[in-house]
A and B are shown apart, each in its own frame.
Chain A
Amino acid sequence: MTVSGCTEPALIRMSGICKSFNGVQVLNDAGFEVRAGEIHALAGGNGAGKSTLMKILQGVYQKDAGTIEIQGRPAQLNTYADARRQGIGMVFQEFSLVPSLTVAQNIYLNDEPRSAMLIRDAEMISGAREILGRMQVDLDPRAELASLSTAYWQLTEIAKALRGEARVLIMDEPTASLARKEADRLFELLRNLREQGIGIIYISHRMEEIYEIADRITILRNGSNLLTKQISEITQEEIVRGIAGKAVALTAAGSSGQCGDVLLKATGVSAQRKLHDVSFEVHAGEVIGVAGLMGSGRTELLEALFGINLTTRGSIVLDGQPMSPRSPRDAIAAGVVLIPEDRRRQGLILKHSVQENLVLPDLSAVLRGGLLSAAAERDRAVQLIGSYGIRGAGPNLPVEVLSGGNQQKVVIGKWLGVGPRLLLMDEPTAGVDIGTKSEIVKQVREFARNGGAVLVVSSEYQELIAMSDRYLIMRGGSIIRSLPADAVRDETTLEMWVQGVEQ
């Protein structure tokens, strides 16, 4: 049953929603609605405002302006508990579950049926069984979560969201951690819930999924509505164009045409995590953009070259020398460095100073007579701060007080300071301001011009196109295509390659 006319009021209607953080407008007159028995996809590029809009619906953020109606009645959602009471359930992307508890205990976490302070286990288990039954899932509510696979974690997460009188389910990239078959079963479950009259908000970047499961789609761009349409009335191209967007112009790199010798040659490389039989070459002076959907093996490829995702087969030759890094130390010694995906957890020691972070990878550079020299450390830090344009902080401030962009520059300075041959970058422009983005793009181009080679993973296509001489498209842990710069005219064509739309 796809959506019929608009006779009944929408389950949820958000309209004119505005929200800004510290003067930065994130949502501007955004609206969204979901009807009973509808799967409504919410799409948009990074920073389009999807998460913020959904967090307002969950009572996590408060809107600055606008209205929220639930079944035609205005609602005030001040806390997460308010939203729960109004029947809004969220399936969290990173599961909000406690592995050491059972399925039933997780479903009823913080809402356990009790009598006189004591938890009524039997009631909890039968309640969980009832919810799982409604989902037509065969799962023992008494099983300890830690003993179950990821797919069951997600089912538990969904059951948890459905507990009580949930009428709306928000799902954020629910298939990111699922295998294809598990995703199919999830879709079946979603259709089944739709039959029961539940409204589902489905956030996804994956166009093919949206096509498969959704009834309607709303695309946000820069905090406002771009369009809302029936899936049957929108073309793939329209969706891709809407997601890819175009905000600020960065000029495409094009092929610099001055590639040197082969610097890195990977042949038939497989690794412990998600990398199957990958072969490619990188020339000196070349920037290669690695594009693929979440879970396509992009990060795993970089981590294999950096000695974190250990290779199990194949050969890697760097500058004529075979290498098989077993740890980041090996990789760094061979001249390979990684700007990791999670800056705050992997890239920096947040509580330590800018100076300490900058000198850490190569402490031998600040040894004087075998001992760390405070003066040498300071000189080196000041020099790197200058070279990489790190602003807003002296060397002694803890790096956590810097803005996201400047934190990222510290990571870049930290690694380019050691003089690498091959630079690996994982989402280098995520969460940084637009000015810093173009600086990072410039630094990468310059590093390549000086004879270095770069592999950069990014889901921000504008930046990727501005940097790359060539593209590797990944899917399911393999490289499915290698494209020259002129095969990727703009974000839309790149998105189509990534989504596997033939062109």
Chain B
Amino acid sequence: MTELRIEGTHSRAKGLLSRVNLGQYIIYLAFAVTFILFAVALDDRGFLTSGNLMNILRQSAIVGVIAVGMTFVIADAEIDLSVGSVAGLVSVVTAMAISHWGILAGIVAGLMVGMLIGLVNGSLVAFVKIPSFLVTLAMMGIAFGLAQWVTDSAPQPILKQGYNMAFGSGDIGPVPGLVIWFLIIAGCGAFVLKKTRFGRHVISVGANPTASIYTGISVVRTKFLVMLISSVVAALGGMLYAGRLQSGRYQWGQGDEMNAIAAVILGGTALAGGRGSVLGTVFGALFMGLINNGLILAGLSSPQQQVVRGIIIILAVALGSKK
């Protein structure tokens, strides 16, 4: 009708304006500004030493890995709250399998658990069409409970140093192995999201499932796969916890889902789906690590850190959503 046509021309001018959108890039700016701020203010406390900088990388790495998987889920307009507990469960399963059957069995068992949970999450979300929020909220409790149950709440030490070295405790030259893992996963993630048909389908389904169906894209398959990817990547995160801390424990990864979601959103992926950047997520995770590190160096107590960190995140997101 006539009105529709008018609306079209009307929104053209508005659309062009809103196109200059800081949201996707705010994270790089925020990272740079915060980094410089800390570098100046905390210089005398050793912020810029290579040891400290490596520390930031190392401390961001596991949440960063998990956040890469989360980027796919959120870009597809879903959510995965179970990643932290999946990491915890996988850490204990891997540790127990290693002590019984050896390293290879541990790795396989850890990945299998991740895959199994991913299959359940993915099937319930994609085929049964239960909201992912509910499915993964329930799975969060199930995985956490299982991990505590099978271990009787006891830590499961990993004595095979080969595993520990490969999964997070070792270094390659000056670079921590954890950071290498982070780079590999982030590289793969960025590649898949940007360069494959599947990645394009994820973004399309997240932006407009109806148009995607009418374009011949299988929404069900896409949703299933993102949930699967997220769990498997979270399982890898759990194995890295196990290697880095040389043990499996049900608390590993607790609360990581929120940090991962924050990293993804800070990185410019739309919470409502349809837009996603793995590179942004990497910087989102680094930004959170940077803040933690700086606030510790500044001598803030743990409760103070939490408050200040919260304020900084709100500021960053608020700036990003400003047109």
Query: Which residues of A come within 8 Å of B, CB atoms?
Result: 21-22, 24, 26, 46-47, 49, 51-52, 55, 306, 308, 327-329, 331-332, 338, 340, 345-352, 356, 360-361, 363-364, 367, 371-372, 392, 397-398, 400-405, 407, 414, 430-433
Contact = CB atoms under 8 A, between A and B. Distances in A.
A372 B207 contact: no
Nearest to A406: B8
Given A21-B3, A308-B213, A371-B195, 19 more contacts: A22-B6, A26-B6, A47-B1, A331-B216, A345-B211, A346-B210, A348-B208, A349-B204, A356-B204, A360-B204, A360-B215, A361-B215, A372-B194, A372-B199, A400-B11, A401-B12, A401-B16, A430-B4, A431-B8
Interface in B199-224: 199-200, 203-204, 207-208, 210-218
A404 B3 contact: no
6 contacts: A46-B1, A328-B216, A371-B196, A401-B19, A407-B8, A431-B8
Contacts of B207: 349, 351-352
A364 B200 CA distance: 12
Contacts of A308: 213-214
Interface string B8-24: 11111001100100000
A100 to B, nearest CB: 16
Contacts of A346: 210-211, 214
B216 A345 contact: no
A47 B6 CA distance: 11
Interface in B179-200: 194-197, 199-200
Nearest to A396: B19
A345 B212 CA distance: 10
Q: Residue among A26, A52, A327, A360 with the most chain B CB within 10 A? A: A360
Q: Residue among A392, A431, A433 with the most chain B CB within 10 A? A: A431
A348 B212 CA distance: 8
Contacts of A349: 204, 207-208, 211-212, 274
A49 B2 contact: yes
Q: Which 10 A-B pairs have the closest CB atoms?
A: A401-B15, A21-B6, A404-B8, A431-B4, A332-B216, A363-B197, A328-B216, A371-B195, A329-B216, A47-B2
Contact of B2 (A24, A332, A363): A24
Given A363-B197, A401-B16, A401-B19, A22 B10 contact: yes
Contacts of A397: 19
B210 A327 contact: no
A402 B12 contact: yes
B274 A403 contact: no
Contacts of B194: 372
Contacts of B2: 21, 24, 26, 47, 49, 52
B323 interface: no
B249 interface: no
A363 B204 CA distance: 12
Contacts of B12: 392, 401-403
Contacts of A400: 11, 15
Contact of B213 (A22, A51, A328, A398): A328
